Structure 1
Amino acid sequence: MKVNGPNHTNFNPYKKQVQKQSEMKEIQSQKDKIEISQQAKRMQDSEKADPARQKLVNDIKMEVDAGNYQKDAKSTAKKMLDFWTNKS
């Protein structure tokens, strides 16, 4: 019977290290990937401002900047009450 000592020829102390390095290279070579679903794309499109509403907002901004914007306090209060009373 033949018994090999601690320095037998089949033993490679660096084998695990080389194997770990190759595994790390494989992991690092993988790239992250992102995909946006069709539903998310539709949601993004629906968030775009309506052109008619955007024109109204721009008109009000111009009036405010020019100092010509007149607010109707009674109308504003009525709309606020209507909103909060019809909410429930």
Structure 2
Amino acid sequence: MKINGTNQSNFNPYQKQLQKQAEVKQEMKNKEDKLQISNQAKQLQETAKPDPARQQRVQEIKQAVESGEYNIDPKQTARKMIAFWNNQP
């Protein structure tokens, strides 16, 4: 009869699983998130800058709203809404 002591190599059958889990955790800690923007996306960002004339108009409207001088014609708004919804397929 052969009796092996506690120094047996298969003493803990789950040791390899525990080591793999520890390695995976270590790999996850070492990874970093990276972000890359394509050249096409960069070009779109450059061309998406607002038109200076439109930007000026928006500023004028903002100032009129803040000062309380901006008036809205409800009839004209309703007409434009109806025209928009009648032109939809």
Identity between Structure 1 and Structure 2 (%):
41
Q: Which residue number in structure 2 is paired with residue 6 of structure 1?
A: 4
Match of 1:85 in 2: 86
Tell me the residue number matched to 2:62: 61
Q: Specify the alignment match of 1:25 in structure 2.
A: 26
When the two chains are superposed, the root-mean-square deviation of aligned CA atoms in Å is: 3.4
Number of aligned residues: 86
CA gap of 1:68–1:27, structure 2 versus 1, over 3 A, is closer
What TM-score do the two structures reach when normalised by structure 2? 0.56
**Mind listing any 5+ residue stretches in structure 1 that lack a counterpart?**
none
1:70 maps to what in 2?
71
> Which consecutive unaligned segments of at least 5 residues does structure 2 have?
none
TM-score by length of 1: 0.57
28-37 or 76-85, which deviates more: 28-37
